[in-house]
């Protein structure tokens, strides 16, 4: 019985900006597959297109993965048995592979200028032909090509595709795929600057790093027969190909920022928690039982199977992500949630709020807002009044917008003063005692409790929507509550 090869998969980003959600989902799926299989997950930086490098991109790639809880066994930062893991540091390897292909007759030197290639494509377009290299340099003798190259003439190396027959490859999700070779032109594998194209570089790297499963987006599916040919020409045993489906916007179009899609670190900035984003992306195109949507990272690792990935594109649903984020926040242990709120508030509250923030205060109001929060970025707007020396009292129009208080500023002010007197004299400072006293006062002054409580909420918090009123008053404290009630009353109807 043959022992199956060890699972080895790689995440191979380009340092051209922040990783988008489709790219990161590939990393999540590959990582889950490696961890489920007891295999290896490595990072390889594909930076052969030097013109597109963006400073700081690599740090943001690492930051995105670490935030999501994705670790790696080998990579540019930690090394490994197949170092280096940066393609620009592996150029001699690609030259050796290109020379082997040239020597074996699977590639040739091409001296066509960019101007000639542009004219060729223009003529093909005018004739209604499919664009592609016309093979002019394919007929050059090896001697002539070698002489011209030695003389310093600029050239590239092209792979010689067969123009007859078919190429068949196997994709794990789609099965056998057979394509006629006549659909492919001779493509560049080594550029004039001695940097490889993706076609050659990833084949050499995946072989040398013993990658068992080449996982990538299905935008590479049309090029897969080319890659299969390179694997064969170099005498390499092909890996298992797995082409992941794309993510679409909810309207069926290409996913973009207008659909709410952002980079992973932008989601972190906007108040999403890592577990929710990981869960959401992991099931975006993958299904366990068609009904379960909430999974811990440990559970996903236990049950994940590449075979359960759909070949159909998945639609990105921002509302579902927000819902899932809210569920994760509500299910979080209270001490952990308090710490998360504290960290976010330290970032979002105005600079004039004293630091360090009162952790006991945050712990006190956390249970009263956890059901209301979907994003961490919402927390400061809900609770900033707890930290303010004084609340910005809403205008009279806000207090008098309810039918009861319309054209009765004096009545509203009188109700606020009555509650302030009650609060100030209250012996038992507990939520239950505060509620009972306030309801008793409303009854004593012959007002509906709801009408009076709306006034009190505005006065104490400055908001129409806030955490539960009586719990809020208990946390705010007697002195501050009384002060805010009286200040609001004076703003409505100053005493004589």
Q: Could you tell me if 46 and 6 are in contact, meaning their C-beta atoms sit under 8 angstroms apart?
A: no
Look at residue 173 and tell me whether its pLDDT is greater than 80.
yes
Report the SS3 class of residue 189. Answer: strand
Long-range Cβ pairs for the range 431-438 (8 Å, 24+)? 431/470, 431/471, 431/474, 432/470, 434/470, 434/473, 434/474, 435/470, 438/470
The model's pTM: 0.91
**What is the number of residues in the chain?**
496
The model's pLDDT over 68-88, given as tens digits with 9 standing for 90+, comes to 999 999 999 999 999 999 999
CB contact at 8 A, 373 and 320: no
Give the three-class secondary structure for 183: helix
Burial class (CB in 10 A: 0-12, 13-18, 19+), 129: exposed
β-strand 166-171 against 175-180: which pairing, if any?
antiparallel
DSSP state of 74: B
Pair 146, 152: CB distance under 8 Å: no
Based on the residue annotation, tell me whether 320 is a catalytic residue of this protein. Answer: no
Integer Cα distance of 139 and 145 in angstroms: 10
Task: Examine the pLDDT at 495 and tell me if it is beyond 50.
Answer: yes
Residue 1 has pLDDT above 50, yes or no: no
Q: What is the DSSP letter of 87?
A: G
pLDDT (tens digit, 9 = 90+) per residue, 19-62?
889 899 999 999 999 999 999 999 999 998 877 888 889 999 99
Residue tagged active-site, from 254, 257, 262, 403: 257
Three-state DSSP class for residue 244: strand
**pLDDT value for 75:** 97
Q: Which pLDDT score is estimated for 251?
A: 82
Among residues of the chain, what percentage have pLDDT more than 90? Answer: 84
Query: Looking at residue 252, what is its pLDDT?
Result: 82
pLDDT at 339 over 80: yes
Whole-angstrom Cα distance, residue 234 to residue 243?
A: 22
Read off the pLDDT of residues 11-25 as tens digits, 9 standing for 90 and up: 999 998 888 898 999
What the block records as the tokens of 316 is 């990105």
Q: Is 419:462 a contact under the CB 8 Å cutoff?
A: no
Kindly report the backbone phi and psi dihedral angles of residue 190, in degrees, each rounded to the nearest multiple of 5, phi listed first.
-140, 120
Q: What is the CA 258 to chain-centroid distance, rounded? A: 15
Q: Using one digit for the tens of pLDDT, what is the confidence trace for 436-447? A: 999 999 999 999
Those residues with Cβ within 8 angstroms of residue 162's Cβ, 6 or more apart along the chain or in another chain: 181, 229
* 3-state helix/strand/coil string of 7-22: CEEEECCCCCCCCCHH
Residue 4 pLDDT:
60
Residues 98/190, Cβ–Cβ less than 8 Å: yes
Average pLDDT, the chain: 94
Query: What is the separation, in whole angstroms, between the first and last Cα of the chain?
Result: 98
DSSP 389-413: SS--PPPHHHHT-SGGGTT-HHHHH
In sequence order, what are the residues at sequence separation of 6 or more whose Cβ sits closer than 8 angstroms to the Cβ of residue 35? Answer: 41, 301
User: Alpha helix locations (H) across 151-287?
Assistant: 198-208, 224-233, 264-269, 274-282
Show Cβ contacts of residue 450 under 8 Å, excluding neighbours closer than 6 positions: none
Q: Any bridge partners for residue 214, and if so which?
A: 241
Calpha distance 258→266 (Å, rounded)? 14
């Amino acid at each position: 019985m043959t022992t199956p090869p060890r699972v080895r998969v790689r995440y191979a980003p380009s340092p051209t900006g922040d990783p988008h959600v489709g790219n990161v989902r590939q990393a999540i799926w590959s990582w889950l597959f490696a961890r489920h299989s007891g295999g290896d997950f490595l990072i390889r930086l594909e930076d052969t297109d030097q013109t597109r490098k963006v400073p700081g991109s690599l740090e943001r790639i690492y930051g995105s993965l670490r935030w999501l809880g994705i670790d790696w066994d080998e990579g540019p930062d930690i090394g490994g048995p197949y170092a280096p893991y940066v393609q620009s540091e592996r150029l001699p390897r690609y030259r050796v592979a290109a020379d082997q292909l040239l020597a074996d007759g699977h590639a040739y030197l091409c001296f066509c200028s960019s101007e000639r290639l542009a004219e060729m494509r223009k003529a093909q377009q005018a004739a209604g032909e499919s664009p592609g290299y016309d093979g002019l340099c394919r007929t050059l003798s090896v001697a002539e090509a070698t002489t011209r190259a030695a003389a310093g003439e600029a050239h590239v190396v092209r792979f010689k595709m067969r123009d007859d027959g078919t190429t068949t490859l196997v994709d794990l999700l789609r099965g056998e795929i057979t394509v006629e070779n006549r659909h492919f032109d001779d493509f560049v594998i080594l550029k004039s600057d001695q940097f490889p194209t993706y076609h050659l570089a990833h084949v050499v790297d995946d072989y040398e790093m013993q990658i068992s499963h080449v996982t990538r987006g299905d935008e590479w599916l049309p090029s897969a027969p080319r890659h299969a040919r390179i694997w064969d020409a170099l005498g390499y045993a092909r890996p298992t190909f797995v082409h992941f489906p794309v993510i679409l916007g909810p309207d069926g179009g290409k996913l973009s920022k207008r659909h709410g899609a952002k980079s992973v670190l932008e989601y972190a900035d906007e108040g999403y928690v890592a577990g929710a984003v990981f869960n959401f992306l992991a099931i975006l195109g993958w299904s366990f039982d068609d009904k379960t949507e909430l999974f811990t990272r440990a559970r996903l690792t236990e049950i994940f199977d590449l075979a359960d990935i759909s070949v159909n594109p998945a639609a990105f649903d921002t509302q579902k992500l927000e819902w899932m984020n809210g569920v994760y926040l509500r299910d979080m242990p209270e001490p952990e949630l308090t710490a998360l709120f504290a960290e976010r508030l330290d970032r979002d509250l105005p600079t004039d709020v004293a630091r360090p923030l009162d952790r006991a205060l945050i712990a006190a109001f956390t249970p009263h807002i956890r059901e209301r929060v979907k994003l961490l970025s919402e927390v400061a707007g809900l609770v900033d009044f707890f930290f303010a020396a004084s609340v910005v009292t809403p205008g009279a129009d806000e207090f008098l917008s309810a039918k009861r208080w319309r054209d009765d500023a004096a009545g509203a002010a009188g109700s606020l003063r009555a509650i302030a007197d009650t609060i100030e004299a209250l012996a038992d400072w507990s939520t239950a005692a505060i509620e009972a006293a306030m309801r008793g006062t409303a009854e004593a002054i012959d007002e509906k409790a709801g009408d009076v409580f709306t006034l009190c909420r505005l006065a104490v918090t400055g908001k129409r929507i806030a955490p539960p009123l009586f719990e809020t008053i208990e946390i705010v404290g007697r002195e501050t509550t009384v002060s805010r009630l009286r200040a609001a009353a004076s703003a409505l109807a100053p005493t004589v």
